[in-house]
Amino acid sequence: MLLKDKVAIITGATRGIGRAIAEEFLRHGAIVTICGSREATVSKALEEIKKEFPESKVFGKWPNLGNPEELDKLAKEIKEEFGSLDIMVNNAGVSDDSKTLEVSPERFKSVMDLNVNSVFYGCQAAAKIMKEQGYGCIINTSSMVSKNGQPSGVAYPSSKFAVNGLTISLARELGPMGIRVNAVAPGIINTDMVEQLPKEMIEPLIKAIPMRKIGEPKDIANGCVFLASDLASYVNGEILHIDGAMSV
């Protein structure tokens, strides 16, 4: 129960890594609000989570992450409802491997809008509340490609390099206010997208990972639990790579 009674907001939490983070937070006693892009997907995920954690406090919202005012409103509502906002996890994002010579300006902008701008808006909204409290923890989702890039497409790695810069800079700026800002950088994780890949694509990926296995969403969730807990009370500005040494 490392997060007992801590109040958390998690974006991109209806499936995959975000869903695993929400479930692990609940397992450790947190009060969790999951966020998704649509009411229907949030409601479905909420129903499933409540079945697994019937005694836990879990709620659902579907703010427009590209609208700072909606995120400000959400953060204020959570503070008013539960008395604090202890943890903000900015996990929502989109992957992209569009070839650099072919990607449209609109596509590049859409990747940056969700992966960078929305992360900043989430950090900003949470920081306003956390400054008043004098404490808080923000966790952003980066990627292993934020270290070495990727061979096809520049939009996604560029956005994750930006998340790292945002995380480190905010850690230094907000640290004096009692706010810690860190990031997790997942490697190849067994999400629904990876599960759909053919075997001939998966096997070479596994061989390229020093640990010779694909990670599970819970591996990332465990990292987030650590960063959000008092065990990491002096961890600030860290990009925690959880990738089986893939980015080394």
Residues forming the active site: 156
Give the three-class secondary structure for 190: coil
User: Per this entry, what is the length of the chain?
Assistant: 248
Give the three-class secondary structure for 3: coil
Q: How far apart are CA 224 and CA 49, in angstroms?
A: 18
Burial class (CB in 10 A: 0-12, 13-18, 19+), 215: buried
Q: Residue 189's beta-bridge partner residues? A: 215
- Tokens read off for 176: 């004096």
| First vs last C-alpha separation in the chain | 32
Backbone angles phi, psi at 18, to 5 degrees: -60, -40
In the sheet with 58-61, reading across from the earlier edge strand, the strands are 58-61, 31-35, 7-10, 87-90, 136-141, 179-186, 239-242
Cα–Cα distance list, 7 to 29, 215, 220 (Å): 9, 27, 19
